[in-house]
Amino acid sequence: MNRKGLSIFLILLNALGIACLIYCAVPLILNDTAVPNPDSMLALERWDGGGALLTIGLLPLLAANILGFLFIAKGQIRLKYRLLFFLPGLICTLLVLYYLLLSFQVIPGFFPKTSLANVTLKDPDTGKETHYEIFEGERRSLTSPFEEDPIEIYSADYNDFTAYIEDGKVLNRLTGTKLSDGDGNLIEADEELQRLMTCAARGLEHDIWEFLIIRDGDDLFAYVKLNVNWSDPCDLYRYDPQNDTLIHLCRWQNKDFSGIRVLEGAK
């Protein structure tokens, strides 16, 4: 390959690196918590996936920048301008550093000001508790426990929801309204709880293998575990009785619900 061909190749390589940098940086900077592929083996939120790709691509991007600096227009462009080849690598390095600090919860990230609830979850294998502050679609870890609200928890019977396939999607229908209360007593869901369960059956995809209803005063929440290949998604919803809808608050992987404290932002 002659020098001109090499220069064109390196220009295209650096341009591709910049395009990938922008593509991965946007969800990280915007703290996008959507999960584009919830059925995948590794279901990542967009910010997490973008940060992981930036981390993987950092060294190749730096290599492309160095090669561009060494071989593109050498002797034709002043040194201070050729140093701009390192700008994408510098930006990527800062974003990777930010991503790592965010992942290890050293910094909180960009969160809205209004908190909806604090939630305590347990690891089903170790029993270790973790505490979170919840915003709509977002969360951040808390370093210490909080005072939980007195709540009532109802667990749906496994046969209350029956999954079926329609147009390639796994949907649900409500086939029962039996619940177990906190003492293990089997009860019939009241009218309000039945509406919540009907709303869940109508709106949730994938086989439901655990469904909890949390009553916190006048507020109702649902904590749902779905049967998805290679992952154990656990979703927290708030029920809006006026519009008969479930509002998705947050998703975790393989966690048991333990407690909640509703904050002013959810009222």
Q: Is the dihedral of CA 74, 75, 76, 79 positive or negative?
A: positive
Q: What is the pLDDT of residues 137-160, one digit of tens each?
A: 677 788 889 999 999 999 998 889
Q: What is the mean pLDDT of residues 13-24?
A: 94
Long-range Cβ pairs for the range 77-84 (8 Å, 24+): none
Instruction: Please list the residues that pair with 240 across neighbouring strands.
Output: 245
pLDDT of residue 144: 87
Over the chain, what is the mean pLDDT?
87
Position 229 confidence tier, pLDDT thresholds 50, 70, 90: confident
Helical spans, DSSP H, in the chain: 3-29, 46-71, 79-82, 87-103, 191-203
Q: What is the pLDDT of residues 94-148, one digit of tens each?
A: 999 999 887 775 555 555 457 889 999 999 999 999 999 887 667 778 888 999 9
Position 218 confidence tier, pLDDT thresholds 50, 70, 90: very high
